Homo-oligomer: A and B are copies of this chain.
Amino acid sequence: MKVKEVAELTGVSVRTLHHYDEIGLLKPEEVTESGYRIYSAANLETLQQILFFRELGFSLGKIKEIITDLDYDRNEALALQRRMLVDRRGQLDRMIEVIDQTIRHYKGEIHMSDKEKFAGFDFTKGNLYEKEARQRWGDEAVNRSNAQLGAMSKEEQEKLGQEMNDIYFKLADLRQLPPESEEAQAAIKLWWEYLNRMGSYSYEAFKNLGQMYVDDERFTKNIDKFGEGLALFMRDAMAVFADRAAAE
Contacts and interface: CB of A to CB of B under 8 A. Distances in A.
A243 B92 CA distance: 43
A88 interface: yes
B114 A75 contact: no
A10 B118 contact: yes
B92 A122 contact: no
B86 A96 contact: yes
Given A78-B102, A78-B103, A123-B11, A48 B96 contact: no
A67 interface: no
10 contacts: A11-B121, A44-B117, A51-B121, A55-B121, A75-B106, A78-B103, A85-B92, A85-B96, A85-B99, A88-B92
A100 interface: yes
B55 A102 contact: no
A118 B55 contact: no
A88 B120 CA distance: 15
Interface string A8-35: 0111000000000000000000000000
Contact of A89 (B93, B106, B114, B115): B93
A95 interface: yes
Contacts of A100: 82
A92 B93 CA distance: 11
Contacts of A88: 92
A2 interface: no
Copies, count: 2
8 nearest A-B pairs in the assembled complex, by CB-CB distance: A89-B92, A82-B99, A10-B118, A11-B121, A85-B96, A78-B103, A48-B117, A51-B121
A145 B136 CA distance: 55
Contacts of A78: 99, 102-103, 106
Interface in A148-166: none
A122 B82 contact: no
A99 B11 contact: no
Contacts of A103: 75, 78-79, 82
Interface string A59-75: 00000000000000011
Interface in A33-60: 41, 44-45, 48, 51-52, 55
